[in-house]
Structure 1
């Protein structure tokens, strides 16, 4: 699927939740984190997304789960 017509996007808000107890400045580097996003596409669509990153401790093993939708 070609999504280039919707790029670039303008990020409105990002919230990060982690399983570990870490400082706010280090949450982006957490091994297991969930990112809640709200953004606007270049076509003006209001969108939201959730990205879940998990690791199992083995170097270079990472799983990403992504869900994105357009607000009506």
Structure 2
């Protein structure tokens, strides 16, 4: 993580923090209020996705125009 810029480190911290927050809230809700398993699975999936996004913080700083330039129009 030492080779990342400050803004990329910030994105990693936000993604991982939100991930653990969602996972903790999902488990707390499941254990305390006896919500169904579907909510737990959804919150676990979202938290895993956010955590994995933290591994590629440069994706948030790719210009949208260059990212969409590789998509070819069918017309």
- How would you bin the TM-score normalised by the shorter chain? under 0.3
Normalized against structure 1, the TM-score is what? 0.22
Higher helix share: 2
Larger RCO (alpha carbons 8 Å, 6+ apart): 2
Higher strand share: 1
